[in-house]
Structure 1
């Protein structure tokens, strides 16, 4: 699990476009953070072929000109970076026996919370702006969350103790 989390955390920073569609629009601030507007434009233009029109901009049809959702605290890119940092911290925490149970519990909650983004991305993939490629990608990505959640939960158990009295 730690290796998977490290690989995923690294991908958050190397290829944030991979995660853009699974950050629900309602979580994204419409006003880009200072200095982030160029980054957002760079990702938007680079990822144009990899996402739905409403899936990446802070100002989109889902939020419209009305009031922002109370959970819209960060920009899309900031949410991707924060989740990458959380996965990095979880990779370390899962390896340390004193923090393993707490980290596994938090990781289970995090993977469960990520379900909302995967469901949202799947709904958009099957919506009017969805493509066949998007439907395939998100149809596979959503069910992969279940084994991750179960695996994270299973890590809450204590590590077996070997015959010398230490952890195995």
Structure 2
């Protein structure tokens, strides 16, 4: 029986590196300051704090999985699924940001609304990059 050498590990592409970096930063903030993310949990879901902590841990696991070549094949689709799963929270943040802008005109409200709205279409390239990293 002939043993074939393992296929060379491709370096993580720039898009997947961006996903891993975003997961790393966001995951840490989810765990250290969960209160920041609790309002983003859609109102229909129970136990916002637990969901924020769980998603933070999942983001850190996906970041590590993308960076480690041996786990990248599984981490790519897992990362894409996580990004899709948290999309409703991103929508909730955008809705709340626009509502805050319309009703309060608080300092920074326009910037928050713009950032949360601009972030929504960015989710799709992140999902594609994460998925591609698993191939």
Question: Is the structural similarity TM-score above 0.5?
Answer: yes
**Is 2:114 aligned against 1:96?**
no
Whole-Å separation in 1 of the counterparts to 2:126 and 2:40: 16
**Is 2:55 aligned against 1:83?**
yes
Q: Deviation per CA, 1:33-70: give whole Å up to 9, x if none.
A: xxxxxxxxxxxxxxxxxxxxxxxxxxxxxxxxxxxxxx
What is the match of residue 92 of structure 2?
120
TM-score (norm 2): 0.68
Alignment equivalent of 1:150, drawn from 123, 128, 134: 128
Q: CA deviation at 1:137?
A: 3.4
Whole-Å separation in 1 of the counterparts to 2:32 and 2:97: 24
Q: CA deviation at 1:149?
A: 1.1
Alignment equivalent of 1:14, drawn from 26, 32, 47: 32
What is the match of residue 105 of structure 1?
77
Whole-Å separation in 2 of the counterparts to 1:14 and 1:98: 28
Runs of 4+ in 1 over 4 A off after TM superposition: none
Change (3 A) 1:20 1:141: farther
Any unmatched runs of 5+ in structure 2? 1-16
Whole-Å separation in 1 of the counterparts to 2:25 and 2:96: 27
The answer to whether the Cα contact below 8 Å between 2:31 and 2:57 also exists between their aligned partners in 1 is no
TM-score (norm 1): 0.56
RMSD: 2.0
Any unmatched runs of 5+ in structure 1? 29-74, 158-168
Aligned residues between the structures: 109
What is the match of residue 42 of structure 2?
24
What is the match of residue 37 of structure 1?
none
